[in-house]
Structure 1
Amino acid sequence: MSKIYKTDNGKYRAEVPYKYQGKYKKAKKTFDKKAAAVLWVAETEKLKNENVDALGSPDVLFVDYFDDWVKTYKVGVLRDATLWNYRNTSQVLHRLAPGIKLKSMTRPVVQKLINQYGLEVATSTLQTFSVHITGALREAYADGIINRDPTVKIIVHGQTIEKKKNYLEADEYDALMKYLESQPWTKVNFYVYTALLSGARIGEIVALMTSDIDFKSHTIHIQRTQIKVLSGTPRPYLFGPTKTKSSDRIIQMPDRWFAALKQYRQENSNVNSDYIFGPKFLTAQTYSNNLTKILRAAGVNDNITPHGLRHSHASHLISAGVSLEYVSERLGHQNVYITQKIYVHFLNKDRVVQNDFAMKIL
């Protein structure tokens, strides 16, 4: 019989008994919250009732083992947005390796599978795929389900895919700002304006509450974001903590944003007093579709995604000479190296200017 009990250190221990190869064993896992433990037990019991071995067997299909492994060890532990990435890996396995058994996942087979997917995607995407499947295989080996570790010295090398430009140049940034300030403050217009001036993620902006705004110091507190379901789409009206601890941040906003906020509220009497972009929350797709229309109306020919507004904010500051450390903190990155990696192309542009300046001095 499955059970959940509280340990001495305040955590919750879940146990699900099962029969494997004629022997009775227990699947065990520890959680910080009781709700996560209850969900794990329910998922594991469901797998048992469907006659699927939650911990796998050498004769099961690898894709089935992988799906069960994710349900058993990842659901209830990882954020939904992260689980979405595992769902993508599962879809690839169902497409590229639907009939391969777990015991047949030898090192050459694993390498060929990675090579095959590598013909379609960039190295960064392939690395995520590799981490997921090798993680599952290593645990199968550690549990004694397979007798060899097939992940030793696996090589990951995908396509060199040139990334599509997803930011606005300085003149495009200015043109868009000028256009927005000349238009009525609809929910979409004010969202785009807020993204350009804050650099916050779409989910963080949608989750903004009136209580997050300090009208005296002219700051906003980014402390929550819209939660995604496994399909990758935000779940309406449901918000949770920010992406990382460093994403919880207080950032300064210019006077023009507060003036626009006042006008936005005057022009939208139905705006919820708690959530800036409530009470009816628009979908991410709605913002994306309307952004394209706004860009065209502003005379901007380049097409960017809503996340491209965040990149545009960062590039605008970096191009103007604002320090990378400040931009990193404003964006909520865990460290400045992440910022440097993402915006290296802007730093390279600035390096040319700095070289010319240095040569003049020398």
Structure 2
Amino acid sequence: MASIVRRPSGRWQATYTAYGREFSKSFDRKVDAVAWARSAEQDIQRGAWMDPRRSRIAVDKWIDIWLPTRRSDLRATSFERLQSICDRHIRPWWGQRQLDHITNAEVRRWSADLQHHLAPRTARKVLLAFRQLLSAAVDDRRLAVNPAARVPMPADHGAERAWMSLEEAVALRDAIDPKYRAVVLLGYWCGLRFGELSALRRCDVDVERSRILVRRTAQQASGRITFGPPKTGAGRRTVPVSRTVMRELCEYMDAYTDTSAESLLVTTAADTPLNRQNFLRRVWRPALKSAGLPAELTPHSMRHGYASLLISGGFSVKEVSQWCGHASTSITLSVYAHVASQQEDDAPERLETLLSGFDTD
């Protein structure tokens, strides 16, 4: 049983025992002391009690404990991104605060500040990382509740994406250094991510069946490039390729790819794997300028163009989702909904063609 005693100062001291240790706290009012002790005893009975000393750790220290545990479940690039978010955004604001001193209201004010200074998508990533940090503290029985759990995520209305059109892709293919022409062929006409095409080997090209086998992806972290499996099971896939594009790829491999089955399809002039930053600076941007194309186009713009082209061409969402390596068709629908809506514009004409053989009289 908890004890409630009045101290000489006039304040009320509540004391309870948990697992052989006593815990005390003083209050101005007896009713508050009773409520505090009663709540602690109820938590003990329910198995929900936590040692309050464990929540008195600073956020900086908790990051140092929690962050290394994420290495095992995150890719190297994702871990570096999370580490950067902690160092650039979480530590400066919360680093010296104790976990048990963080309130929901303060997290909401911080979220508003993030949205004022950062792009919506970046603000979402920062708040999500903070939620995960505090959720881990709950799991470690350092916090009873996560003060960031019910803070609304910053709205992300999505910046206007730079979609590459077929005409732009053709212009880029013709303008880019021939050594890197396959980047455009694989990015626009096959829909591969930059990491996927960078990891592609000669043995991953099934010429007879006109297919590309996506079995791995390139990961770049701390200046090093390594190869590993796709992030999701959907990323491991077989992508059909038009016969015309396959002939162009074969011509490219004959000219620039080593004959070994394990040879990378596209490499640098020094026969090393593509480094994204170097490629953008030395090859991609000069090619855009030479072709007279918008500077905001990125390698991912080719992938968006590929998917949009397929949907406009009448391929099913399921096919597009599978060939793009999306985790679900809902992702395909959400990203390319504008293409489907454009298709609806000519719905009456398409219905007329479909139903023209039926006499309604």
**TM-score interval, smaller chain:** 0.7 to 0.9
Give, in angstroms, the shift of residue 106 of structure 1. 1.8
Contact 2:193 2:300 in 1 (8 A): yes
Aligned to 1:294: 287
Amino acid at match of 1:58: S
Distance 1:353 1:96 in 2: 53
Q: Tell me the TM-score normalized by structure 1.
A: 0.72
Q: Does 1:155 align with 2:152?
A: yes
Report the 3-state secondary structure (helix = DSSP H, G, I; strand = E; otherwise coil) of the residue aligned with 1:228. Answer: strand
Aligned to 2:123: 126
Q: 1:80 to 1:159 in 2, by over 3 A?
A: same
After TM superposition, the structure 1 = structure 2 runs for residues 25-64 of structure 1, keeping only pairs within 5 Å, are 57-64=54-61
Q: Does 1:275 align with 2:264?
A: yes
Give, in angstroms, the shift of residue 344 of structure 1. 1.6
For residue 173 of structure 1, the aligned residue among 156, 159, 169 is 169
Determine which structure has the larger helix proportion and give its number: 2
Q: Does 1:77 align with 2:73?
A: yes
Amino acid at match of 1:324: V
Give, in angstroms, the shift of residue 262 of structure 1. 3.2
Distance 1:152 1:269 in 2: 51
Report the 3-state secondary structure (helix = DSSP H, G, I; strand = E; otherwise coil) of the residue aligned with 2:218. Answer: strand
Distance 1:292 1:166 in 2: 15
Distance 2:234 2:323 in 1: 10
Aligned to 1:208: 200
Q: Which runs of 5+ in 1 are unaligned?
A: 1-22, 24-55
Contact 2:177 2:287 in 1 (8 A): no
Distance 2:117 2:156 in 1: 7
Distance 2:334 2:156 in 1: 19
Q: Which runs of 5+ in 2 are unaligned?
A: 1-20, 22-52
Stretch of structure 1 that moved more, 105-114 or 268-277: 268-277
Aligned to 1:248: 236
Give, in angstroms, the shift of residue 358 of structure 1. 5.5
Deviation per residue, 1:230-256 (Å, 9 max, x gap): x5x6x32x2000121011011111223
Q: Does 1:338 align with 2:327?
A: no
Deviation per residue, 1:329-358 (Å, 9 max, x gap): 110111111111111222222222225655
Contact 2:202 2:260 in 1 (8 A): no
Amino acid at match of 1:173: A
Amino acid at match of 1:341: S
Aligned to 1:27: none
For residue 63 of structure 2, the aligned residue among 47, 63, 66 is 66
Aligned to 2:347: 354
Q: 1:300 to 1:272 in 2, by over 3 A?
A: farther
Q: Tell me the TM-score normalized by structure 2.
A: 0.72
Aligned to 2:301: 308
Aligned to 2:101: 104
For residue 316 of structure 2, the aligned residue among 319, 323, 343 is 323
Deviation per residue, 1:99-131 (Å, 9 max, x gap): 333232122222222222122345544343333
Give, in angstroms, the shift of residue 169 of structure 1. 2.6
Contact 1:185 1:267 in 2 (8 A): no
Distance 1:185 1:271 in 2: 18
Distance 2:146 2:296 in 1: 46
Distance 1:264 1:305 in 2: 22
Identity %: 21
Distance 2:315 2:137 in 1: 49
Aligned to 2:110: 113
Stretch of structure 1 that moved more, 287-296 or 209-218: 287-296
Report the 3-state secondary structure (helix = DSSP H, G, I; strand = E; otherwise coil) of the residue aligned with 2:213. Answer: strand
Distance 2:246 2:149 in 1: 56
Q: Which has the larger radius of gyration?
A: 2
Aligned to 1:26: none
Distance 1:147 1:332 in 2: 39
Q: 1:142 to 1:216 in 2, by over 3 A?
A: closer
Aligned to 2:251: 263
Contact 1:210 1:276 in 2 (8 A): yes
Give, in angstroms, the shift of residue 304 of structure 1. 0.8
Q: 1:114 to 1:271 in 2, by over 3 A?
A: farther
Give, in angstroms, the shift of residue 309 of structure 1. 1.3
Deviation per residue, 1:218-275 (Å, 9 max, x gap): 111100001232x5x6x32x20001210110111112233332333234337686522
Report the 3-state secondary structure (helix = DSSP H, G, I; strand = E; otherwise coil) of the residue aligned with 2:200. Answer: coil
Report the 3-state secondary structure (helix = DSSP H, G, I; strand = E; otherwise coil) of the residue aligned with 1:75. Answer: helix
Aligned to 1:19: none
